[in-house]
Amino acid sequence: MTISQLFDIANLFVLPFWALIILLPNWKVTRRIMESYIPFLPLAGAYLYLFITSITPENAQALSNPQLADIARFFADETAAATGWIHFLVMDLFVGRFIYWEGQKTGVWTIHSLILCLFAGPMGVLSHILTYWITKAISPNFPASEAATSPEQAISR
């Protein structure tokens, strides 16, 4: 399998998980899948493989004392760029999972934050934090008393 194929597969791999948490957040199957860490294992494995194959003694030296120019040169390599991209995919999905569970637990609206997280992870986090604060400020009974307090409790509802 080429680096390009692995990159394409990783991009496609995350889409069903994003679709579930954005489009079907209350579905029992979504909750079961997202309570698991299994969605992260193939991505983390691909990341580990690419990371190991992209590290050279020169790259390791540059990454041990990061300078912007060295990082730019590192990511100019296709394998290193794919490694970085899969890093984004894993971390954005992990943060998306967190936002999803926070929404399930508290009842805070999350669709907009999840969409932002899918395309620009940190903006999704910021959106979720602001939405949480605004909801807390305008809702006297926030969080809802019957909201689940853990992924396990959300599933049992």
* Residue 45, H or E segment: helix 40-54
Q: Of 105, 106, 128, nearest to 115 (Cα)?
A: 128
Q: Residue 22 sits in which domain range?
A: 3-156
Give me the tens of pLDDT residue by residue for the chain, a chain 157 residues long.
899 999 999 999 999 999 999 999 999 999 999 999 989 999 999 999 999 988 888 878 878 888 898 888 888 889 989 999 999 999 999 999 999 999 999 999 999 999 999 999 999 999 999 999 999 999 877 765 444 444 444 444 4
**pLDDT, tens digit (0-9, with 9 covering 90-100), for 103-112:** 999 999 999 9
- 50 close to 78: Cβ distance less than 8 angstroms: no
Total domains in the fold of the chain: 1
Q: Of 94, 9, 95, 18, nearest to 49 (Cα)?
A: 9
Q: Is-above-0.85 flag for pTM?
A: no
